[in-house]
Amino acid sequence: MGYFSQSRFDVRLEWGENAIQQMAGDVDCVIIVDVMSFSTCVSIAVGRGAKVYPYPWKDATAIEYGDRLGAITASATRRFDNEQYSLSPASLLGIPQDTQLVLPSPNGSALAFKARDSGAAVFCGCLRNLEATAVACAGYQRILVVPCGEKWPDGSLRPALEDWLAAGGIIAHLLERNLSSEAQTAAAIFQTLPLAVLRQCSSAHELIERGFAADVELCLAMNADDKACRLQDDHFIY
């Protein structure tokens, strides 16, 4: 990775799956940021005492994986369905303590699943647990913050403003550290832009148009949760 590793810096930022593949093995801590909606779902569920198992594929293998674990598998056919657990944050507000939930998604969940093998501590960060995540990760020397982004129809990465802003917010709590230029820029964007702009971003517009404005509000609730979410073996806990 040479030129692109940001290895001279304590706090680094890079996008998507390639960040995990190319950079996670050279850090002590990886923070996965997928605001709309995987990271928000994890923060809500874990904050209520559930265990969340990331899984990359939204197909029949997710159910098989859940069955092997003795866990519930969130809906993979309807992304935002309040009638059962899914990637709709609102669907998780009443999740009982000690529930084991497999939460498949091709973005945050897939990256968290991949990061398990990096040797680094893996956290799931979002706006809801922004400060708690920064505090929990501050003790690590080398930190990689990974805004996940979304995918275009051809499967390529679509950088997502909400992930960049939340990543920058976490980094903004670590300004005394040696930050890469990429990390500094994200922090500066967070400090400059009002949070309200995210209600007009593409990801929010999609959810609102589909009737899930309540999910947008849950995703944008700054520091509503006071627990950091860390991957222990194969599941997130606090």
Q: What pLDDT digit, counting tens, does each position of 121-163 carry?
A: 999 999 999 999 999 999 999 999 999 999 999 999 999 999 9
pLDDT > 90: what percent of the chain?
95
**Considering the chain, what is the average pLDDT of its residues?**
95
CA distance 63 to 55: 10
Q: Which amino acid is at 2?
A: G
* Residues 55, 113 contacting (CB under 8 angstroms): yes
pLDDT for the residue 78: 52
Residue 81: count of CB within 10 angstroms of its CB: 16
Comparing CA positions, the residue from 14, 110, 35, 104 lying closest to residue 65 is 104
For residue 22 the two structure tokens come to 């190319």
* Segments of the chain scoring below 70 in pLDDT: 1, 77-83
CA distance 162 to 183: 15
Q: Which residues contact 84 (CB under 8 A, 6 or more apart)?
A: 74, 75, 91
Torsion of CA 52, 54, 57, 58, to 10 degrees: 20
pLDDT for the residue 77: 59
* Residues 212, 220 contacting (CB under 8 angstroms): no
Q: For 89, list phi and psi in degrees, rounded to 5.
A: -55, -35
**What's the pTM?**
0.97
pLDDT for the residue 2: 84
